[in-house]
Chain A
Amino acid sequence: MNVEAALAVHRFGLGAGRRDLEAMRGDPRGWLKSQLGSVAPLVQPFAQQKSTGQVLRDLPSMREAAAKSADDQVKLQQMGREMFLNEMRPWMRNAFETQVPFLERYVWFWSNHFTISVLKARMVFFAGSYEREAIRPMVLGKFEDLLISTVRHPAMLVYLDNAFSIGPDSPAGKFVGKGLNENHAREIMELHTLGVDGGYTQADVIELAKILTGWSMVRGDNVDSATGFKYFENRHQPGTKTLLGKTYADAGEREGQDALRDLARHPATARHIATKLARHFVADEPPPQAVARLERVFRDTGGDLKALALALIDEPAAWQSALTKMRTPIEYVVAAIRLFGGVQDALGDQQFKGLAESLRVMGQIPFTAQSPKGWPDVASGWAGPAAIMERAQWAHALAERIPNKPDAVVLADAALGPLLSPPTREALKLAADPTQGLALLLASPEFQRR
């Protein structure tokens, strides 16, 4: 394995999987590019899962069933938890087995960019379906379509409260005396498009909130779409709105579509996205030239996400051999399991619980980010003393559980190739026993970084 092949699996992918190196056939860049053909492999593993529309349709009856038990809120939470676990199982399994690991990482990047989190109570019902419906099918299309698909998804509408925002001068607003909730509008500009220095003001936040009034959802028998999204004209703030100096005539739902497309095409958005993408795949402090190149591609192609992924593969800075990025706990656990050949057969209950527990201890259960900003994407978020000790302990615990322990040096050579430094290789060779050797490999800088 040469350096490029090793970087392709580790920096771009999910670690050295059983089949990755064979599939590459000596052409790492070609292998990465070949993953960008279609979103089918991203979507197909989840074909059996319930749609958000179905969940929303079932919610009232679940509530009813829960109300029959003594502590109905607790019961409902249990149902939500059950549902969440049923989503996480295929999610994890897919992470171990996917044949398009770069594309999967790309999904994770966008899923984190457009974060939702079950730390907000009701989100537990929507976490899995959100990513499946709003993110996965969209990551090879246009950024503006991805943006709109997240803004229209009930999960995001609930997470950032737009579902409950009502135009104060709309018929519904006058009737119930309720008003705007500006949370979602702010995060769209601050986190999802322009970036915090993107030149918007508090007045713009309020205007975008007005534009998005009426974007909400329904439950029970009223659900008539795959996601349950519904636009309520009677909640929509009437009148023209002015966002970033541009006037939007009173046009109901269309206003939101137009405004979001304008935000997506804004030059500040191109810079914001290019910076985040380079930070994720290249370095915590990405080289300005790399950011500039990605930014140009974003602008030249009107935010074409496939072109952006190709540009990343062609980015010279992404092929520097020094490993500077820390793997996040999810990336770390997935890489470790792939190192040992993936999970055996069906992801059994015990295995699944163990993996979920591992992620919990290391602080990164999927869909549990602390804030709408998502998971940290720099080492300082994951390499604190407490975190590094936990990884060391976890590495050791996993090594103890590996049956028929393979030789650490052989495994390291196969998985890391030339990325494995001679001193680390020496340390593995000198390990006291096979368990310690594997634990050292898992805890090595070369394996914790990518």
Chain B
Amino acid sequence: MTLDRRTLIQSAVGAAVLGMAAPRFSFAATPGDRRFIVVILRGALDGLAAVPPHGDPDYARARGAVALPNDAIINLDGFYGLNAKLPTFKALWDQKQLAIVHAVCSPYRDRSHFDGQNVIETGGIRPAPTGDGWLNRALGPLGVSDPKLALAIAQAVPVILQGKREVSSWMPPQLPAVDDDFLARLKTMYARDPELRSALDRAMEVGAVANASGGGDMQSNAQALRGGRGYRFEPLAKMAANIIAANDGPRITVMEVGGWDTHQGQGTTQGVLAFVLDGLDKGVKVLSEALKPIWDRTTILFFTEFGRTVAANGSNGTDHGMASVAFVAGGAVSGGRVLGQWPSLKQSALYEGRDLMPTTDLRAVFKGVLADHMRMARAQVDGIFPDAGAVAPLGGLIRI
């Protein structure tokens, strides 16, 4: 990693503006070239189906209709397994590039999707006004002041990346491009509308990167985006990978995958969940291949707002639960391990008698990745999660 003068000055100014005690000069305060990709699994992923604890003696009994049969589980370590729809995750596991944190949950203990997602994105204890996401709060200490280095692959910037610092968002182009003269005039016209003006500025910057990195098959892939949300991840990953992997690509990227709210027909080897897991796996395969040039300095973190009930509900599905699972994948990851304490599926061990008991605070995972992967000092990480001072960063997720 090389530091140029401009970067140094920017990060120092950034720290001063934020009124933080500017570290004398820690490398942690510069935007190095390490890449952090966050994938939010919206709708509450069933962690017990994605990473089945098949060695738990209560697994089959407790899950009932949604218990995976043995041939739908890829064994990992004798106790945990992976859903057979996740072969790419298994390949990463074998290369020690996938760590799993089980029985993980944010501090939120109710069961509303929207509040649950708010908490994992704002990083506090309870739902907070949107517009202050924890990843945006991390941009200052990371020294990421160039908006195009913080990118949401989404039409609207998700809460996690909203905040004081300007960021970018991008979606594959689906309409004919407009000429520069028109854009210049629009810019002038938006001078009195800061919201539209900054949105347009950001879009033009990322668009330039996308063009420079040759999004060859973008138009044809835009076709593939026409489907519903479950199977959109793979084509989206394909198109976004060019931008993410670019030489001066985003240090922070946010992606979203929906379709996890499997109240009905969740199924086991077939069903709604198998379908969405398959889409996720294929997308991850695309990402892991396309990001090869930067893979050794990349960490991808997957997490969801909460888990689902241990037992099947009345309709071959599951309702909103508590603890779920988080995946940490990438070349920078110290993988091949499941972290977190297993709480057991015994009836008496369940949260409120129905859900997997949380044993790891999701914020410990956030903090661990920021500290070890993005090389932030503990004080900086604590500053991003002011309500989580007592929550220590989860160590050991990152290789180097």
Bound pair (A, B): yes
Residues on A facing B (Cβ under 8 Å): 119, 160-161, 164-166, 168, 173, 178-183, 186, 190, 196, 202, 205, 360-361, 363, 370-371, 373, 376, 379-390, 392-394, 396-397, 421, 423-424, 427, 431-432, 436, 439-440, 443-445, 448
Selected interface stretch from B27-35, B51-59, B198-206, B325-333:
B198-206
Flag if B185 contacts A119 (CB, 8 Å): no
A370 and B258 in contact (CB under 8 A), knowing A196-B115, A380-B130, A443-B186? yes
CB contact between A445 and one of B113, B175, B176, B189 (< 8 Å): that residue: B189
Contacts of A202 in B (CB 8 A): 110-111, 352
Taking the closest CB of chain B, its distance from the CB of A414, in whole angstroms, is 19
Contact residues of A: prevailing secondary structure: helix
Besides A182-B320, A389-B199, 14 other CB < 8 A contacts?
A119-B228, A164-B315, A173-B314, A190-B112, A205-B111, A371-B113, A373-B113, A380-B157, A384-B155, A385-B201, A386-B170, A393-B175, A427-B185, A436-B181
A361–B229 CA distance with the chains assembled, in angstroms: 14
A206–B193 CA distance with the chains assembled, in angstroms: 47
CB contact between B196 and one of A168, A370, A386, A388 (< 8 Å): that residue: A388
Q: Is B46 an interface residue (CB 8 A)?
A: no
CB contact between B175 and one of A160, A182, A394, A423 (< 8 Å): that residue: A394
Flag if B264 contacts A181 (CB, 8 Å): yes
A180–B174 CA distance with the chains assembled, in angstroms: 43
Q: Is B25 an interface residue (CB 8 A)?
A: no
CB-nearest residue of chain A to B272: A121
CB contact between B202 and one of A164, A165, A179, A385 (< 8 Å): that residue: A385
Flag if A360 contacts B196 (CB, 8 Å): no
A382–B195 CA distance with the chains assembled, in angstroms: 11
Flag if A181 contacts B314 (CB, 8 Å): yes
8 examples of A-B residue contacts, CB within 8 angstroms: A164-B315, A202-B352, A363-B155, A370-B258, A373-B114, A386-B155, A392-B186, A396-B176
Q: How many residues of B contact A (CB 8 A)?
A: 62
CB-nearest residue of chain A to B115: A196
A182–B43 CA distance with the chains assembled, in angstroms: 15
- Nearest 9 CB-CB pairs, A to B? A164-B315, A389-B203, A385-B203, A385-B202, A393-B175, A179-B314, A388-B199, A178-B314, A445-B193
Contacts of A390 in B (CB 8 A): 155, 171, 174-175
In B157-215, which residues have CB < 8 Å from any A CB?
Answer: 157, 162, 168-171, 173-178, 181-183, 185-186, 188-193, 195-196, 199-204, 206-207
Contacts of B171 in A (CB 8 A): 386, 390
Taking the closest CB of chain B, its distance from the CB of A352, in whole angstroms, is 16
Flag if B154 contacts A181 (CB, 8 Å): no
Contacts of A186 in B (CB 8 A): 111-112, 320
Q: Is B400 an interface residue (CB 8 A)?
A: no
CB contact between B190 and one of A119, A387, A432, A445 (< 8 Å): that residue: A445
A394–B115 CA distance with the chains assembled, in angstroms: 34
Count of A-B residue pairs with CB < 8 Å: 161
CB-nearest residue of chain B to A329: B155
Q: Is B361 an interface residue (CB 8 A)?
A: no
Flag if A381 contacts B317 (CB, 8 Å): no
Contacts of A436 in B (CB 8 A): 181-182, 185
Q: Is B5 an interface residue (CB 8 A)?
A: no
Flag if A397 contacts B176 (CB, 8 Å): yes
Contacts of A389 in B (CB 8 A): 199-200, 203-204, 207
Contacts of B176 in A (CB 8 A): 393, 396-397
A386–B131 CA distance with the chains assembled, in angstroms: 18
Flag if B226 contacts A360 (CB, 8 Å): yes
Q: Is B96 an interface residue (CB 8 A)?
A: no
A160–B317 CA distance with the chains assembled, in angstroms: 12
Flag if B178 contacts A387 (CB, 8 Å): no
Taking the closest CB of chain A, its distance from the CB of B316, in whole angstroms, is 8
CB contact between B181 and one of A381, A386, A432 (< 8 Å): that residue: A432
Contacts of A182 in B (CB 8 A): 313, 319-320
Q: Is B127 an interface residue (CB 8 A)?
A: yes
Flag if A385 contacts B313 (CB, 8 Å): no
A392 and B313 in contact (CB under 8 A), knowing A183-B263, A439-B182? no
Flag if A384 contacts B196 (CB, 8 Å): no
CB-nearest residue of chain A to B200: A388
CB contact between A178 and one of B168, B186, B315 (< 8 Å): that residue: B315
A385 and B200 in contact (CB under 8 A), knowing A202-B110, A396-B182? yes
Q: Is B9 an interface residue (CB 8 A)?
A: no
Flag if B156 contacts A381 (CB, 8 Å): yes
Flag if B264 contacts A384 (CB, 8 Å): no
A440 and B170 in contact (CB under 8 A), knowing A384-B155, A392-B183, A397-B175? no
Contacts of A164 in B (CB 8 A): 264, 314-315
A160–B174 CA distance with the chains assembled, in angstroms: 32
CB contact between B154 and one of A166, A386, A421 (< 8 Å): that residue: A386
In B231-285, which residues have CB < 8 Å from any A CB?
Answer: 258, 261, 263-264
CB contact between B156 and one of A196, A373, A382, A394 (< 8 Å): that residue: A382
